[in-house]
């Protein structure tokens, strides 16, 4: 397997610094966060705002070749572009795919509709399937793969829901980012069963962890819970079991780390995470 870091979780490093650090820490690659963003309210880089390790949509084509050159010089491959573009904005999607070609990235994330109960699921699903037909054509045109992520709050939070969606498309150009951390919050299924179901659509794995903590009771006396991001060893995803399941389906692709914790420095937690993941892989 190959290991990269999704730069959403390195907001205090610049693009240039991130490339050097990933090489120093022993990672194989990098997944670049690509989106336009607002500045952070307090002026300090944050995961979602003011992130220094983000390539903006406005600049991605202009910066693509230079970023690719820096990665090659450091021996770092570009595993994917983690874009936030929606499938119903084909010009944005095409821009990301063109950036993939310029950077040598094989794949990019593309969004699907969120689900909150205000619109019937069937309507959202059918609308997304129509817009993804255009995404598939663009992916084929540029020779890349468009990936949908199993994510809480969208229409494909589980492996089976993701398979139902992507099964309408060519797996050479449409795939799934399997995210067990997200599936703690919504969409959990047996790891190996879900991976077997995805089959040739399994494109990439996001690596993070999360735990539930108590936060009192509601007016009816029912226990309330909240989620908290954790480092890889500490949450409810058993990554040894995930690794065993990935081995069972003979996955040899990219695992991309997402660590939204802030307790420890990058220089401690990112090398530790890589050592643990490699140890778990070798133990299978």
Query: In the predicted model, what is the mean pLDDT of the chain?
Result: 97
What pLDDT shows up at residue 108?
98
For the chain, percent of residues with pLDDT exceeding 70: 100
Average pLDDT (154-167) is 98
Give the rounded percent of residues in the chain with a pLDDT score beyond 90.
99
Which residues in the chain belong to E strands, given as ranges? 2-6, 29-34, 54-55, 77-83, 107-109, 145-149, 174-178, 202-207, 209-217, 223-230, 254-257
Interatomic CA distance for residues 238 and 169, integer angstroms: 31
Q: Convert the pLDDT of each residue in 175-225 to its tens digit.
A: 999 999 999 999 999 999 999 999 999 999 999 999 999 999 999 999 999
- 222-234 pLDDT, tens digit each: 999 999 999 999 9
Per-residue pLDDT band for 129 (boundaries 50, 70, 90) equals very high
pLDDT of the residue at 190: 98
Q: What is the structure's pLDDT at 256?
A: 98
pLDDT mean over 55-72:
98
8 A C-beta contact, residue 82 and residue 109: yes
Instruction: Report CA torsion sign: 35, 38, 44, 46.
Output: negative
Cα-Cα-Cα-Cα dihedral of 75, 282, 208, 252, to 10°?
60
Q: What is the pLDDT of residues 99-113, one digit of tens each?
A: 999 999 999 999 999
Count of structural domains within the chain = 1
Query: Which structural domain range is residue 83 located in?
Result: 2-283
Q: Look up the CATH number of the domain holding residue 182.
A: 3.20.20.150
The pLDDT-based confidence of 39 (bands split at 50, 70, 90) is: very high
Residue 70's Cβ-count burial label (10 Å; 0-12, 13-18, 19+) is middle
144, 107 Cβ separation under 8 angstroms: yes
pLDDT score recorded for residue 7 = 98
Looking at residue 166, its pLDDT comes to 98
* Contact by Cβ (8 Å): 113, 124: yes
Q: Which two tokens stand for residue 110?
A: 């593309």
pLDDT at residue 149 in the model: 98
Per-residue pLDDT of 7-21, as tens digits, reads 999 999 999 999 999
Separation CA 82–CA 110 (nearest Å): 8
Q: Where are the alpha helices (DSSP H) in 26-120?
A: 60-74, 90-103
């Amino acid at each position: 397997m190959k290991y990269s870091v999704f730069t959403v979780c390195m907001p205090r490093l610049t693009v240039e610094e991130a490339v050097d650090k990933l090489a120093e820490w022993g990672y194989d690659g990098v997944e670049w966060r690509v989106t336009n963003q607002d500045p952070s309210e307090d002026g300090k880089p944050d995961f979602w705002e003011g992130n220094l390790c983000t390539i903006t949509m406005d600049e991605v084509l202009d910066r693509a070749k230079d970023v690719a050159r820096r990665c090659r010089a450091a021996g770092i491959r570009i595993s994917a572009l983690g874009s936030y573009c929606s499938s119903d904005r084909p010009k944005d999607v095409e821009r990301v795919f063109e950036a993939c070609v310029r950077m040598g990235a094989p794949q990019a994330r593309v969004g699907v509709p969120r689900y909150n109960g205000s619109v019937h699921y069937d309507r959202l699903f059918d609308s997304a399937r129509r817009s993804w037909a255009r995404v598939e054509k663009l992916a084929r045109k540029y020779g890349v793969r468009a990936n949908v992520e199993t994510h809480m709050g969208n229409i494909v939070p589980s492996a089976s829901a993701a398979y139902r969606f992507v099964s309408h498309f060519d797996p050479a150009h449409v795939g799934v980012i399997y995210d067990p951390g997200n599936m703690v919050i919504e969409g959990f299924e047996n790891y190996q069963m879900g991976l077997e179901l995805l089959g040739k659509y399994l494109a990439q794995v996001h690596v993070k962890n999360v735990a539930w903590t108590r936060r009192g009771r509601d007016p009816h006396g029912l226990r309330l819970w909240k989620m908290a991001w954790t480092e890889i060893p500490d949450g409810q995803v058993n990554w040894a079991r995930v690794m065993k399941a990935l081995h069972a389906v003979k996955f040899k692709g990219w695992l991309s780390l997402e660590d939204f914790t802030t307790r420890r420095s990058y220089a401690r937690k990112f090398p530790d995470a890589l050592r643990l993941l490699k140890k778990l892989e070798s133990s299978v």
